[in-house]
Structures are given as structure tokens and as C-alpha cells.
Amino acid sequence: MTISEQGSGNGPDDDADPAAIGDPAAAGGSLSEPEAAAARLRTAVRAQWDVLSASERAVARHLASAPAESLLFASAQELGTASGTSNATVVRALQRLGYAGLPALKRELAVDFTAAVAPEVRLKQRIDHVGRDLDAIWGDVFDEAQERIEHARRLTPGAALSDAVGILAEAKEIHCYGIAASELAARHLALALGRIGRRSRCAGATGFALADQLLAIRHGDAVVIFQPGRDLAELSVLVDRAQAVGARVVLVTDELAETYGPRVDAVLTAPHTPTGITTEALTALVVADALLLALTTLDETRAVETSHQLTALREQLLGRRERRR
């Protein structure tokens, strides 16, 4: 079923009662699982109704009445078609409702949806959404990837990036921490830092095994933590260890900025996937690449010399392999 089949798609209706917008009793339906986020959306629609244009009201009405799970998989273009408007109108309407954009709305809905719906059910819904249309699958993956990356770009202010780069530039050694899906970004950053001449290591242990890796953190070091949303006990212990020895912390996250912001030195935003269509580590990898490029430009000589040494070592290894043949 497409988004247009689930929504009204009847165009603007200035005479609609904003008090009934998204009211399941008025629509003869029931609340979807992500009730808290959906309720916030309906409240925003009612509060802003008088200042919305006719086309923006059409978008707002559709957003408030469509099943929350369908909104998770919808693109701005699909929502524009379903509401009889355009993707640009969808973006404007969302901003008037207090959201930074469609990814911000999806992020709120996804928090409740993930908690309320079993993983296998979410997987089935993803499959039902994309079907077997290869063009649609290709478009959905690229659309979500673009949305997440653009959202990360908007949510991270230049001052936060500057703070993070400064911390890493001054660090004696950089410890990159990530577990599960976030381990990919941590390993990528640690490896690439070494290739531009920065001392670095990757940590990804949990439980008692993490204690050994915590011992390696020293005064003057920096710790980069990749963790999108779940507040693990390891994170608090890791931050405490860094503070105790005089190391500084950069947190790359989606949902933990409010929790850990006062305890870390810089926070960079990397929105996670609201649907599971794109890899969890996508935006964290992009953030890591931005940090790497910035550090490379700060010490070009070191980066070039390290790259030269790396190339020479590779050539030696290849030469020995050829001689063994």
C-alpha cells in the first residue's frame, strides 16, 4: 500500500475543524503504536492551524491523519502527492509545525515506533513498503540516505565542529569507541587517523573487557564516542574515566546530546535511520570523514609524510610477495 492510498489526498479544506485533526474518534480509527510522537504532531497542527496556508493545511491534515508507520517510509515527494501539494510545501509545513524537516519528524516517530514494535514486524513493514520494484528500492535507499546526511549537516553547528576538530588536533592519542553498528565508524576513524599521522586506537569492548581498554586512556588524550541513541552503562563509565585522567571527549550521537552534553567537550549530530532502510553507521561515517579532512588540512606536512611512508611500506610488502613467487 502506498502513502497516497492511506491518506486523504483531497487537497486543501479551509473549513476543516482543527480540533478534530488526527482525532481517531473523529476518523473512526485507532491510535497507531507511536502514540507520543503522533500526539505531539497533532498538537502542533492544532496550535499552528491559523497561521498555515491552505496548501500547508492540506499537508498538516495528511500528516496528522496518516498512520505513523507510513510516515516513516514516506519521502517528501510522496507526501506532497498524497496531500495534493508538493515536496517543497511539505518541507515548509513541517518547519511551521516546529520540525527542522521530514527527517526530524521521522526521528521522533521512530523512537516510539522502535520501542513499541518488534524488529521482525518492522522488517516486514519495510518489505511491504518497497515490494519488489527495483526502481522503488533504489530510490528509497538513496532518498533516505540523502535525507539523513542533509539533516546531519543542518543539525551540527560550525562551532561544534570547530570544537571537535580542536580537541582532536591537540590530543596525544585519539581513542575511537563504538559497538555493534557504530563500531564500523569507530574503526574507520581510528584507521584513517593513523594514515594521516595521528596516534589512534579503536575500542569496542563491553562489560568487564572494556576495563582493559579504559586503562589506555591518558591525560591529554581524546575520546571519540559513536553512539546514536541507547544510553549504555559503558558510556557513562567511559566518560567518567576520561574526565578522571584529563582526557577530552567528543560525542557523535543522535539522541544522547541532552543526556551527555554537560559531561563531554563537543557533540556532533549523526541522525540514525528511522526505518532501517539505510545502514545505521551512514551519517557517523560522514561525520568521521569531515573530522579527518579537517585534521589533514591542519597539519598537511604530517599527513603527506605519513602517506609517503605508508606507500613505501606497501611497496616493500608487495615486493617481498612477488619475490616469494
33/163: higher pLDDT: 163
- Cβ–Cβ under 8 Å, residues 89 and 55: yes
Q: Give the type of residue at 305.
A: E
Three-state secondary structure along 106-139? HHHHHHHHHHHCCHHHHHHHHHHHHCCCHHHHHH
Q: How far is CA 221 from CA 105, 112, 246, 311, in A?
A: 37, 37, 8, 28
Q: Which residue has the cell 605519513?
A: 306
pLDDT at 188: 97
8-state DSSP, 187: H
Give the Cα separation of 203 and 224 in Å (integer).
10
Spatial strand order of the sheet with 248-253 comes to: 200-203, 174-178, 222-226, 248-253, 266-269
pTM: 0.74
pLDDT at 305: 96
Q: Given a cut of 80, is residue 122 above it in pLDDT?
A: no
pLDDT at residue number 154: 85
The residue assigned the cell 591525560 is 219
CA 205/CA 318 separation, integer angstroms: 33
pLDDT band at 25 (very low <50, low <70, confident <90, very high): very low
Give the model's confidence band at 4: pLDDT under 50 very low, under 70 low, under 90 confident, else very high: very low
**Among 257, 276, 274, 254, residue whose Cα is nearest residue 107:** 274
* Residue appearing with cell numbers 579504559: 214
CA–CA dist 182, 150 (Å, integer): 20
- The string of pLDDT tens digits covering residues 38-66 is 888 899 999 999 999 999 999 999 998 88
The string of DSSP letters for 11-46 reads: ---TTS-GGGTT-HHHHT----S-HHHHHHHHHHHH
Whether residue 29 is predicted with pLDDT greater than 70 in this model: the reply is: no
What pLDDT, on a 0 to 100 scale, did the predictor assign at position 103?
Answer: 81
Label the pairing between strands 266-269 and 174-178: unpaired
How confident is the model at residue 277, as a pLDDT? 82
Query: Model confidence over 268-315: pLDDT tens digits?
Result: 999 888 777 889 899 999 999 999 999 999 999 999 999 999 999 999
- Does the CA dihedral 163-166-172-176 come out positive or negative? positive
Per-residue confidence (pLDDT) for residue 176, from 0 to 100: 98
Q: Does the pLDDT value for residue 13 go beyond 70? A: no
Give the model's confidence band at 7: pLDDT under 50 very low, under 70 low, under 90 confident, else very high.
very low
For residue range 59-115, list pLDDT tens digits in order: 999 998 888 777 887 888 889 999 999 988 998 999 999 988 888 888 788 776 665
pLDDT of 235 strictly over 50: yes
State the Cα–Cα distance between residues 17 and 14, nearest whole angstrom.
Answer: 9
Stretch 239-267: mean pLDDT: 95
- Grid coordinates in use for 253? 550521537
Percent of the chain with pLDDT over 90: 55
Q: Which long-range contacts (CB under 8 A, 24 or more apart) does 89-95 make?
A: 89/55, 89/56, 89/58, 89/59, 90/59, 92/56, 93/52, 93/55, 93/56, 93/59, 93/60, 93/63, 94/59, 94/63
Q: What DSSP letter does each residue of 267-286 carry, written as one string? A: EEE-PPPSSSSS-TTHHHHH
Question: Do the strands 248-253 and 266-269 form a parallel or antiparallel pair, or are they unpaired?
Answer: parallel
Mean per-residue pLDDT over the chain, rounded = 85
pLDDT tens digits, 150-197:
888 988 888 999 999 999 999 999 999 999 999 999 999 999 999 999
